[in-house]
Structure formats: structure tokens, C-alpha cells
Amino acid sequence: MFRKSHPSIGRARFWRDDVHWYGVGASTDLSFDSHNVAYCLHGASQGDSDLYVMINAYHEPLDFEIQESPAGGWRRAIDTGLESPLDIADPGEETPVASLRYPVSPRSIVVLLGGENRA
């Protein structure tokens, strides 16, 4: 459902001009030992919200510094480190993110939506 409601994810052309890659901070760790990656996928070219995705494949929690801040801020749509039903928000029920620092649980993925709540 989430993927189908965000055309920027499933577009026919690669994200090339619309994606910025990060790590827990501003730089991306491309080493063999890396256990994290983050990216911001700008959705304007697809008529969609911006998405900020943080992936922690490490066995311990990691604090990510969110590198971009859209008008209207970020809202948490998915956090697989939370217990159900809090892990995936219903459309329009996303939780505002108050800080540009976000703790990501071990082996978890967090997806933030940019901008005002459209519901």
C-alpha cells in the first residue's frame, strides 16, 4: 500500500537526479564493513512527497543525523523497530519528527515523509 501511494518509489526511470545518499551523518560509508545507509528521495518530479529512508543493518542502535529538512518538516511513516501497530502509520496518521536526530533500532528501517500532512 505504501509503495503504491508513492509514485516516486516505483518510477520507470532511475532516481538519479532526485536522490541524495548519506550515512548516519552527511557522508556515505561505502566500505565493505558498512552497516548503514540513508537517502533522501525528492518526490516533486513525480508529484509526491519527499522520502527520507534510514537503514540500520547493524546489531546495535545507531543515531542518524537527518541531513535534509523540507518545508513542513518530517513525519514518521514507518519504523520497523517499533512494536505493531506503531511500526507502520496509516496514511494521514504519520507522527511528526521533532528533531533532526533519529535513533534507529538494530536491523531496522525508518521511512519519513516530508512536508505537511495532506490528510
- pTM reported for the whole predicted model: 0.90
Residue at 78 is within a domain: yes
Q: Count up the domains in the chain and report the number.
A: 1
69 is in which domain, residue-wise? 19-114
Q: Which one-letter DSSP state was computed for residue 50?
A: -
The residues facing 38 across adjacent strands are 22, 54
Q: pLDDT of 14-70, one tens digit each?
A: 778 899 999 999 999 989 999 999 999 998 888 889 999 999 999 999 999 999 999
Give the three-state DSSP class for 15: coil
Residue at 72 is within a domain: yes
Q: Where residue 66 sits, what CATH number does that domain have?
A: 2.60.40.1180
Mean pLDDT, the chain, whole residue set: 90
